[in-house]
């Protein structure tokens, strides 16, 4: 049976590390993202159904059952993920419902709201589809209970899209890793092969053979020891006694070379540490620009995986703001001081900061994140250059900031989706940046709006209240 070479072992080792790491990333992201999106869906559904419950109470007090039915039908048609809406009285009798084929008997009496609770959520099976049944009391339960069924499918679709994106990046890293393995395997194995050929040459009687591995590592030391040993064998070549000694030494060297060939392992714990180790070992030997280029590619791919993970969480793990009095003009100035190098020369900047703007109550880091994300998006949209305008104003108890670009613009049908998680018009975008910005602005009781025209550009209009009370 043919033994597996060191190059093949190194390749299998790296592939194994990448695959196992990738699987761990996929499993972790799936769990965290699914939980985060489920919580977000629950919060939005609770807010919606509580509003519908208030309207339902008004119709029930007026005895307007037709209006109540129309209300439920309108809400169901407006949001495609709603599977049903129905209301029951305190005795659990159906008041109104949206089922066209009759009210399913297995839904009667499910997910009752306990006394004193504002809502109740239960996961049920509606046919073959998994649905979250959200129930809230109507008029504190005196008029009954309102139920709304929300499909779980959007969560599954979002999670699936992220997993596909991460899987694609992992495959790219795997391909680059395999390519780099061939480069580095040659750099590592070549000296070992010289030792093997030297052992073979000496065993065949060529005592003039020199390995000449000019490295300062253990392989280089082994090469020098091998050449010295060969020289000693050569000096005693004509002596029979020395011939026997030479044979033993050659056998010893052959065994040592074989053990080295099988025992050397590149101690890679993770991919980044592996790259660092190889750079450290071969830093003074890599003159090939193509090899360096592949190093950069691998680093870039590793960085790409680390990023998407931040906007979604950030999306799912956005920290509570640490409020202080902030001058929004200072945030804009800080951005351009830090990121001046990222603004191309072919982009004309118009910065119009209002005078004596009142300070707002905000988290400085989160506000900087919003400014940075939207301005960099604007810059990236102007591939061929253009005009970037940032204007701050104060009016009606609000401090406003408008960010405009003369880029490609956004399709009309995409404007309503631009703040949705995982929606992106960029090829390599994660679709989390603007969603995070929207969440931060909401936590600051602010507002963000967008105007865009294809071929003319896009304008983001943001405003924050100067004063607001916590809920």
Q: What is the pLDDT of residue 79?
A: 87
Over residues 116-130, the mean pLDDT reads 86
Report field, pTM of the whole predicted structure over 0.75: no
User: pLDDT tens digits for 76-99?
Assistant: 888 888 989 998 888 888 888 888
Kindly tell me if the per-residue pLDDT of 281 is higher than 80: no
Q: Which of 81-90, 137-146, 167-176, 234-243 has the lowest mean pLDDT?
A: 234-243
- Mind listing the pLDDT tens digit for each residue in 425-458? 665 555 667 878 888 898 899 999 999 989 889 9
Residue spans in the chain of domains classed CATH 3.30.565.10: 318-465
Which of 12-26, 245-259, 308-322 has the lowest average pLDDT? 245-259
For range 332-346, the mean pLDDT: 87
275: left (phi over 0), alpha (psi -120 to 50) or beta: alpha
Question: Cβ distance 452 to 410 under 8 Å?
Answer: yes
27-151: which CATH number, 3.30.70.20, 3.40.50.720, 3.20.20.140, 3.30.450.20?
Answer: 3.30.450.20
Residue 226 or 95, more confident = 95
Pair of tokens at residue 394: 């104060």
Provide the mean pLDDT of the chain.
77
109-118, 190-199, 239-248, 377-386: the lowest-pLDDT one:
239-248
User: What is the pLDDT at residue 464?
Assistant: 94
Residue 194 has pLDDT above 60, yes or no: yes
Give me the helices (H) in 287-411, please: 289-306, 309-317, 328-338, 364-381
pLDDT-based confidence at residue 249 (cuts at 50, 70, 90): very low
What's the pLDDT tens digit per position in 452-468?
Answer: 989 889 999 999 998 76
318-465 under CATH 3.30.565.10, yes or no = yes
Please state the rounded mean pLDDT for residues 165-175.
81
Q: Residue 205 region, left (φ>0) first, then alpha (ψ -120 to 50), else beta?
A: left
> In the chain, what is the straight-line distance between the N-terminal and C-terminal CA atoms, in Å?
74
Confidence band (pLDDT; 50, 70, 90) for 239?
Answer: very low
Q: Is the pLDDT score of 261 beyond 50?
A: no
Q: How far apart are CA 434 and CA 244, in angstroms?
A: 78
Which pLDDT does position 352 carry in this prediction? 92
- Measure the CA–CA gap between 290 and 357, rounded to whole angstroms: 53
CATH 3.30.450.20 domain position(s) in the chain: 27-151
pLDDT score of 260: 32
């Amino acid at each position: 049976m043919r033994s597996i070479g060191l190059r093949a072992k190194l390749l299998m080792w790296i592939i194994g590390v990448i695959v196992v790491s990738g699987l761990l990333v996929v499993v972790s992201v799936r769990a965290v993202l699914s939980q985060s999106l489920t919580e977000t869906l629950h919060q939005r559904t609770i807010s919606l159904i509580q509003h519908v419950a208030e309207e339902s109470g008004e119709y029930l007090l007026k005895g307007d059952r037709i209006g109540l039915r129309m209300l439920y039908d309108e809400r169901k048609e407006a949001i495609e993920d709603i599977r049903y809406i129905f209301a029951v009285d305190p005795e659990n009798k159906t008041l109104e419902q949206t089922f066209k084929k009759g009210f399913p008997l297995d839904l009667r009496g499910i997910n009752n709201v306990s006394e004193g609770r504002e809502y109740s959520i239960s996961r049920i099976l509606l046919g073959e589809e998994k649905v979250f049944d959200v129930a809230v009391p109507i008029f504190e339960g005196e008029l009954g209970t309102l139920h709304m069924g929300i499909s779980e499918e959007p969560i599954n679709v979002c999670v699936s899209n992220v997993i596909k994106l991460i899987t694609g990046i992992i495959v790219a890293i795997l391909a680059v890793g395999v390519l780099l393995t061939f480069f580095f395997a040659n750099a590592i194995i070549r000296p070992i092969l010289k030792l093997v050929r030297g052992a073979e040459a000496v065993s065949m009687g060529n005592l003039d053979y020199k390995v000449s591995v000019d490295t300062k590592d253990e392989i280089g030391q082994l090469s020098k020891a091998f050449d010295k040993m060969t020289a000693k064998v050569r000096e005693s070549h004509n002596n029979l006694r020395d011939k026997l000694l030479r044979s033993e030494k050659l056998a010893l060297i052959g065994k040592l070379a074989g053990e080295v060939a099988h025992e050397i392992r590149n101690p890679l714990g993770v991919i980044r540490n592996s790259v660092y180790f190889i750079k450290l070992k071969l830093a003074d030997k890599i003159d090939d620009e193509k090899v360096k280029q592949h190093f950069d590619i691998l680093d870039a791919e590793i960085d790409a995986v680390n990023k998407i993970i931040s906007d979604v969480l950030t999306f799912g793990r956005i920290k509570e703001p640490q409020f202080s009095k902030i001058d929004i003009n200072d945030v804009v100035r800080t951005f351009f001081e830090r990121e001046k190098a990222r603004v191309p020369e072919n982009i004309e900047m118009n910065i119009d900061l209002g005078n004596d703007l009142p300070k707002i109550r905000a988290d400085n880091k989160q506000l900087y994140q919003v400014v940075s994300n939207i301005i960099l998006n604007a810059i990236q949209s102007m591939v061929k250059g253009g005009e970037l305008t940032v204007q701050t104003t104060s009016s009606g108890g609000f401090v406003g900031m408008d960010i405009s670009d003369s880029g490609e613009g956004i399709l009309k049908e995409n404007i309503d989706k631009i703040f949705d998680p995982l929606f992106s018009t960029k090829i390599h975008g994660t679709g989390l940046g603007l969603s995070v910005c929207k969440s931060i602005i909401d936590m600051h009781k602010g507002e963000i709006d967008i105007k865009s025209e294809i071929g003319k550009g896009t304008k983001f209009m943001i405003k924050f209240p100067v004063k607001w009370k916590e809920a």
